[in-house]
Structure 1
Amino acid sequence: MIRYSLICAEGHAFDSWFASASAFDDLAARGLLSCATCGSSRVEKALMAPAVTSASPDEPPPLSAPRDLREALLAEIRRQIEEKSDYVGLSFAAEARAIHEGRAPERSIWGEARPEEARSLIEDGIPVAPLPFMPRRQTN
């Protein structure tokens, strides 16, 4: 695994892990990388300082490594969800119920629900799960 510091066309900096240098190159060439903050697909490697350590192989990695990996995984989860499902906003509970009852086409959706709405869906046997991130808010 290799970690790269990345930057998008909007100037957002973030890190991501790749199986190899060629894996990064392949994903970048196919336009399959996106910014963890704004979703821009114009992502490049940022200038990085080499990670030099004198720690022995028996010592645990620095505390930042698990955090960096977690952030990279969350960014990938967000990217996959946003790419492969429909955001229905505050209509999530109503839309999930309509899909479950056959009144709306079956598809993957995500959105926002009040706790009591989510609880009602679960009690009625409608499969839902919380996401580890909040929707991006549009600002003027």
Structure 2
Amino acid sequence: MIKYALTCDHDHAFEGWFGSSADYDDQQARGLLDCPVCGSKAVRKQIMAPAVRGTKKTGGEPPAAKMQAMMMEAAGRIRRHVEENFDDVGDAFAREARAIHEGKAEDRGIYGQASPQEVRELLEEGVSVAPLPPEPPKKNDVH
């Protein structure tokens, strides 16, 4: 597996995992890659430094695994904060976000669901939106 840092033409940064460099090239050529934030198909690789591991045994959990665990914990905290303090507006997210932006609804934190097209339209209108971090896996669900 190979991990690429990717970005779309709206400068949304994300990562993708591929079986090989050729798999990335094939998916890109067939138009299968899109931005998870706005749905843009204009996706490209970012400049990356390769992760090369030395031959010395350091003992304990590898630094990458520790970093991943820290990031998952931080994402879980963000998600919990949003769920506990923001209003869940469900599939009315785009309509409610637009109403708040236009001053037609109470200014408050909201979350919900929106299609990639709705997200693109909100961003084009200057409405700030961001994806909610996914729920962290349960400890007994991790292999």
TM-score using structure 1 length: 0.49
- TM-score norm. by structure 2 comes to 0.48
The higher-RCO structure (CA 8 Å, 6+ apart) is 2
